[in-house]
Chains A and B, each alone.
Chain A
């Protein structure tokens, strides 16, 4: 049973560019959340997708947007990249409903903005 997968593993961009990160949830999971982990910090919640809609959002600017596809996979898009966007971006998936109380994380995408 494949766990949560993310691509790419690493990415280098320059300021002002746009980036798209991808996530495939664990089998049987329909809810996907994205987190940003800056160096030396704990992960911070960006947003959560369920049924192809953004269900909840953390304190991140509109430059951060996302999408969920019918197969439950998800994308995170960041526009107008800033140096401060350099971080490890983590995707987590879980099952919706009473049985879904645990988020499982992927290996992350390391984004470096130069």
Chain B
């Protein structure tokens, strides 16, 4: 069975500081990995995805993530936090296309002015 662990339910950073949100996964097959962002009272928006191509994936809004098979990790980073980045972030794993997504519990990112 697949699973996702997001370390830290709440991360707080200063505006302009590095953002690092951690995600570790468990999968018996080569995984597809995703990061989604959820703003208050809204649905999920795709930030980026890894589907067995380049291990460093660039997404929207300046975010990127690196797939590290040896560490079973897919951490999300952004060099400089912006106030508009404050939201809930979810890491998810699936076995392939058209298969269910398994989500982590989420990490709430706060950005301090």
Report which A residues bind B (CB closer than 8 A): 4, 6, 31, 33, 35, 40-45, 48, 50, 55-56, 58, 90, 92, 94, 96-108, 110
Contacts and interface: CB of A to CB of B under 8 A. Distances in A.
Interface string B44-58: 111001010000000
A99 B102 CA distance: 20
A45 B45 CA distance: 17
Contacts of B92: 42
Contact of A90 (B32, B44, B96, B104): B44
A42 B105 contact: yes
A102 B49 contact: yes
A94 B44 contact: no
B101 A108 contact: no
A45 B1 CA distance: 14
Interface string B24-35: 000000001010
Given A90-B44, A101-B49, A102-B46, A42 B98 contact: no
Interface in B78-113: 90, 92, 96-106
A106 B99 CA distance: 18
Contacts of A97: 97-98
B106 A42 contact: yes
